[in-house]
Amino acid sequence: MFYQIFPDRFAMSDSAHKPVNLEPWDSPPTYHGYKGGDFLGVVDRLDWLTDLGVNAIYFNPIFQSASNHRYHTHDYFRVDPILGSDEDFDTLIAACHDRGIRVVLDGVFNHSSRGFFRFHDVLENGEQSPYVGWFHINGFPLNPYDLDEPANYEAWWGLRALPKFNTDNAEAREFLMQVGEHWAERGIDGWRLDVPEEIRTPGFWEEFRERTRAINPDLYIVGEIWGDAAGYVDDGTRFDGAMNYPFTTATIAYTVGDRLDTSTMMDNPYYNIAPGLDAAGYRDRIHWLLSHYPDPVTLANLNLLDSHDTARILTIASGDEDSVVLALVLLLTFPGAPSVYYGTEIGLEGGKDPDSRRSFPWAHEDHWNRRLLDTSKDLVGLRHRHPALRSSDYRILWPPDGSDESMTYVVARVSGDERILVAVNAGRERETVSLSHNRIRFGEATLMWGHGDLTVGENQTSISIAPRSAAIWDLGGV
């Protein structure tokens, strides 16, 4: 159960070693301002994560950088001083491990920054720099700031602040491998890899996996791949799983529907949510997703509703709580590793970057959405208590082919003798559906969460679900 933390915005400790020019914690986020979140602030809030049922944290970048998001890496072997010291990082790792919480770091290995020492050396010394081969240099002089002149080097999406590594260069490649090994030795439990598809050097990710897993055989490696991740995850030589944005977009399209705030959409072909989906459309998208990857990959994929790169789910849904509740039901009953973006559990809102990176409002509990918080805790608790909700056995029972007008979606989750039924009605009208017994046996059902009526017949079972609601039943042992 992952919790994604944007370090500058989650929690700030009382550490005296803070810059004086910080933005007020509760002020709107900006592209360049810092709030001052730090490692010890996370340590102070670990009770919050434990109460939520979190047992893994995915941190956005923590290395020394001149950006509040820290994707512009200056030094890959040092933590950012605003976040704290090496000792503070060690304290964080130890405190998390004491609670059974694993720590996954963000690895930005496709590109560095203008402030990265080796690139700065090229800026200073030009063709005579010993690091000129570390980057894709097209000519001299380099122009990292003058937009009226050609950059003369390749950068991520043409952004001059992010010069692209030449991973075909043996020294650059070895450097990045040593970064992966160093933090594995420091005790991290995994890497989330930023834009890994853009590193096309043959064997790069295979070597990265082999060398980091040699230090920690249980190291979790997940790639930020927005679309089809086949080829990166199928054979177990590169990544364990991918950030599951196909699940994200399908789930939002089904649960949010025409409540979608179109201003929150991105210019990204893999984040295409409109128009909304009915239950048959959702079924087809989920069926493709489950049939596309082997079970071990499905169980290792990082499933999410929102992230630092998207608007927040409540804002996407134009403030509609029901949409978020239904999406949480589908997220927390789906195979794989669910991830909650910090603050989503209390209804933190936010549009596109930088608004999606607001500070956690610790001092304003009266503004927290208690319904979403209670829902999150309840569903995470169910997931922890019931192995069926963590298994790969996911049987779509409704809608069948030909039921294109239904807005009700029903699945059975099975593990050994345990059978759980999940029903979601994303429509505006109450629906009653009849399920045959040919794919799952219905016994004495116990309603575990939500509201719904279930009537077991001899050959079929009838389920009635109110509009914009969901229910979860325990069907008992076989």
Range 120-127 average pLDDT: 97
Do residues 65 and 78 make contact, with C-beta atoms less than 8 angstroms apart?
no
What's the confidence (pLDDT) of residue 244?
A: 98
What's the confidence (pLDDT) of residue 19?
A: 84
Distance between CA 61 and CA 72 in Å, rounded? 9
Encode pLDDT of 306-328 as tens digits: 999 999 999 999 999 999 999 99
DSSP single-letter state for residue 271: -
User: Which residues fall within 8 angstroms of residue 474, CB to CB, at 6 or more apart?
Assistant: 386, 418, 419, 420, 445, 446, 448
User: Which residues fall within 8 angstroms of residue 94, CB to CB, at 6 or more apart?
Assistant: none
Do residues 353 and 67 make contact, with C-beta atoms less than 8 angstroms apart?
no
CA distances from 22 to 5, 66, 74, 298 (A): 19, 14, 20, 41
Distance between CA 254 and CA 258 in Å, rounded? 9
- Domains of the chain, first to last: 2-387 (3.20.20.80), 392-474 (2.60.40.1180)
Confidence of residue 403 (pLDDT cuts 50, 70, 90): confident
SS3 category, 432: strand
Whether the model clears a pTM of 0.75, i.e. scores above it, the answer is yes
Q: What is the mean pLDDT of the chain?
A: 96
Which residue did the predictor score with more confidence, 193 or 458?
193
| Helix spans in 126-275 (H) | 170-185, 204-215, 245-256
What's the confidence (pLDDT) of residue 402?
A: 77
What's the confidence (pLDDT) of residue 459?
A: 85
Residue type, 224: E
| Helix spans in 333-393 (H) | 370-385
Range 454-467 average pLDDT: 93
What's the confidence (pLDDT) of residue 9?
A: 98
What's the confidence (pLDDT) of residue 477?
A: 66
If we measure between CA atoms, which residue out of 287, 307, 93 comes closest to residue 184?
A: 93
Element spanning 122, H or E = helix 117-125
Encode pLDDT of 36-60 as tens digits: 999 999 999 999 999 999 999 999 9
Range 70-93 average pLDDT: 97
Encode pLDDT of 341-372 as tens digits: 999 999 999 999 999 999 999 999 999 999 99
User: For this structure, is 224 an active site residue?
Assistant: yes
Distance between CA 108 and CA 224 in Å, rounded? 11
Confidence of residue 16 (pLDDT cuts 50, 70, 90): low
| Least confident interval from 11-15, 74-78, 468-472 | 11-15
DSSP single-letter state for residue 301: S
Residues pairing with 102 in the sheet = 56
If we measure between CA atoms, which residue out of 434, 441, 436, 433 comes closest to residue 414?
A: 441
Range 377-399 average pLDDT: 97
- Number of residues in the chain: 478
pLDDT reading at 458 higher than 90:
no
Do residues 272 and 251 make contact, with C-beta atoms less than 8 angstroms apart?
no
Do residues 342 and 281 make contact, with C-beta atoms less than 8 angstroms apart?
no
pLDDT reading at 478 higher than 70:
no
Exposed (0-12), middle (13-18) or buried (19+): which is 235, by Cβ within 10 Å?
Answer: exposed
User: For this structure, is 194 an active site residue?
Assistant: yes
Encode pLDDT of 98-116 as tens digits: 999 999 999 999 999 999 9
What's the confidence (pLDDT) of residue 147?
A: 96
SS3 category, 403: coil
Confidence of residue 335 (pLDDT cuts 50, 70, 90): very high
pLDDT reading at 297 higher than 90:
yes
Distance between CA 59 and CA 342 in Å, rounded? 10
Share of the chain above pLDDT 90, in %: 92
Do residues 414 and 391 make contact, with C-beta atoms less than 8 angstroms apart?
yes
Which residue among 8, 38, 189, 194 is the active-site one? 194
Encode pLDDT of 170-221 as tens digits: 999 999 999 999 999 999 999 999 999 999 999 999 999 999 999 999 999 9
pLDDT reading at 129 higher than 90:
yes
Share of the chain above pLDDT 70, in %: 99
pLDDT reading at 17 higher than 90:
no
Which residue among 207, 224, 309, 349 is the active-site one? 224
Burial track 61-91 (b if 16+ CB lie within 10 A, e otherwise): bbbbbebbbbbbbbebeebbebbbbeebbeb
DSSP line for 446-474: EEEEE--EEEE-SSEEEEEE-TTEEEEEE
pLDDT reading at 441 higher than 90:
no
DSSP single-letter state for residue 48: H
Strands 453-456 and 460-465: antiparallel
Encode pLDDT of 238-275 as tens digits: 999 999 999 999 999 999 999 999 999 999 999 989 78
